Amino acid sequence: MFLKNCWYVAAWDHELIDGKLLARTLLEERVLLYRGESGKVVALNDRCCHRGAPLHLGRREGDCIRCMYHGLKYDATGKCVQIPGQDVVPAKLGVRSYPVVARDHLVWIWMGEADKANPDDIIDFPYLRDPDWKGIPAYLHYDANYLLIVDNLADFSHLAFVHTHTLGGSEEYAYISKPLAIERLERGFRVERWHMNAAPPPFHRKVIQDKDAPVDRRNIGHMHIPGIFFLESLFSPAGTGAEKGNLEGAKQYRNCQFMTPETRSTTHFFWNYLNNFEADDSNISRSLLNSLIEGFMEDKHIIEAQQKILDEDPDFKLLAVVADAPLVHFRATLARLIAKEQAMQISAAASKPAAAVFSPELAMK
Ligand code: FES
Ligand SMILES: [Fe+2]
């Protein structure tokens, strides 16, 4: 049900500060994440191969982790390197390790076949490393399937109804602003929507001086497989020609959101909402963080309620409207990629000789 051979966000790097052992379920697998003493980020299956104790209750030793049940020690590749009281460590003893890349404060993980992991495939969001753009990394947990959050982001008209008094500003947004462009991309979509001569929405109003001057508002959203959303927002003094490229007096935001499945019905949601106009006034970032939490709690409220309704009746057929074109395209693309990946796995498994069965008796010798 998940696409495995792709990069997902597993954590913000600040979650691994000070040697923290972070236990996180990703795509229904228990993963332990930590930063080793050398600075290397490690991701291992969070289950000791001996008796199944969780490794996040263990102890970090250098870049290694020691299970604090019977003391088996694993290196950063997951290989068991020490069994207290036993001289020989059978080569087979170990736990799965996952390719990880720490980049721009994000920790990316590859949950599929390790030999296919290429860090060059990680989607770049340069604003996270650009000192001109400021923001505060944040996290929310959802009791909902990650694709319901993707659906939500695919249609900005929900801003009008879910976020009338926070991120949206008015119900008018849904009626008079239309998606200017919906582009189907090979692995996602791009949507663009303009709202001309509108009152600044509450989250923006809080951080600007001229609170009542109308603005021309533009949102450009990019959604990428498996659930990565980038939003470029522009608020320009109304009527000054932002749509023709005049950005004088404009205020801009860059927003990244990463939806990583925890399970089929729960999601890790990471985001950062960046601005390039706060200079030394970090209160702007704080205000935006609070506004976004307020707004995302509104999404969470309706999406989690939607998930419960959908769970009650798996036969319920959803009916599409015109604005659903991006989400329909995204879900079809993802389904095709998952089907292709699974077909390849089945054919690879069929051509492999049967693996030798591990024997605990042999491990004792
Ligand atoms: S369960 Fe981990 S060492 Fe025994
Ligand atoms: Fe929303």
- Cα(119)–Cα(276) distance, rounded to whole angstroms? 28
The answer on 188 and 266 residing in a single domain is: yes
pTM of the predicted model, to two decimals?
A: 0.93
Q: Dump pLDDT digits (tens) for 19-66.
A: 999 999 999 999 999 999 999 999 999 999 999 999 999 999 999 999
The reported pLDDT for the residue numbered 175 is 74
Which residue among 120, 153, 171 closes a domain? Answer: 120
The answer on 189 and 100 residing in a single domain is: no
Q: Is the CB of 53 under 6 A from ligand 1?
A: yes
The reported pLDDT for the residue numbered 364 is 46
The reported pLDDT for the residue numbered 318 is 92
The reported pLDDT for the residue numbered 327 is 93
Ligand with smallest separation from the Cα of 51: 1
Rounded to the nearest whole angstrom, what is the distance from the C-alpha of residue 29 to the centroid of ligand 1?
A: 19
- For the chain, how many structural domains are there in total? 2
Which residue among 100, 120, 140 closes a domain? Answer: 120
Ligand with smallest separation from the Cα of 48: 1
Write the DSSP symbol of residue 167. Answer: I
**What backbone phi and psi angles, to 5 degrees, belong to 304?**
-65, -35
Which residue among 120, 148, 176 closes a domain? Answer: 120
Structure tokens that stand for 176 in this block:
């008079």
Mutate to test the pocket of ligand 1, among 50, 59, 65, 80 (most ligand atoms within 8 A of CB): 50
Q: Is 111 part of any domain?
A: yes
The answer on 316 and 194 residing in a single domain is: yes
The answer on 177 and 70 residing in a single domain is: no
The answer on 158 and 297 residing in a single domain is: yes
Mutate to test the pocket of ligand 1, among 46, 49, 51 (most ligand atoms within 8 A of CB): 51
Sheet strand arrangement including 29-35: 22-26, 29-35, 41-45
The reported pLDDT for the residue numbered 350 is 86
Q: Tally the residues of the chain.
A: 365
Q: Dump pLDDT digits (tens) for 159-217.
A: 888 988 888 877 776 777 666 678 999 999 999 989 899 999 999 999 999 999 999 99
Lowest mean pLDDT among 38-47, 96-105, 245-254, 344-353: 344-353
State mean pLDDT over 297-323: 95
* CATH number assigned to the domain comprising residue 196: 3.90.380.10
Rounded to the nearest whole angstrom, what is the distance from the C-alpha of residue 292 to the centroid of ligand 2?
A: 9
What rounded mean pLDDT belongs to the chain?
Answer: 93
Q: At what angle do helices 325-350 and 146-154 cross, to 10 degrees?
A: 140
Name the maximum alpha-carbon separation found in the chain.
81
- Cα(258)–Cα(334) distance, rounded to whole angstroms? 16
Q: How confident is residue 365, by pLDDT bands cut at 50, 70 and 90?
A: very low
Structure tokens that stand for 164 in this block:
């009338």
Q: End-to-end alpha-carbon separation of the chain, Å?
A: 40
Is residue 100 predicted with pLDDT exceeding 60? yes
**What backbone phi and psi angles, to 5 degrees, belong to 196?**
-90, 145
**Number of Cα atoms under 13 Å in the Cβ half of residue 4:** 17
Rounded to the nearest whole angstrom, what is the distance from the C-alpha of residue 10 to the centroid of ligand 1?
A: 25
Structure tokens that stand for 193 in this block:
């929507």
Residue written as tokens 């992991």?
A: 117
Rounded to the nearest whole angstrom, what is the distance from the C-alpha of residue 246 to the centroid of ligand 1?
A: 64
Structure tokens that stand for 191 in this block:
């949507």
Question: Distance of CA 354 to CAs 66, 91, 113, 345, 349, Å?
Answer: 31, 19, 18, 15, 9
Q: Give the domain range for residue 33.
A: 7-120
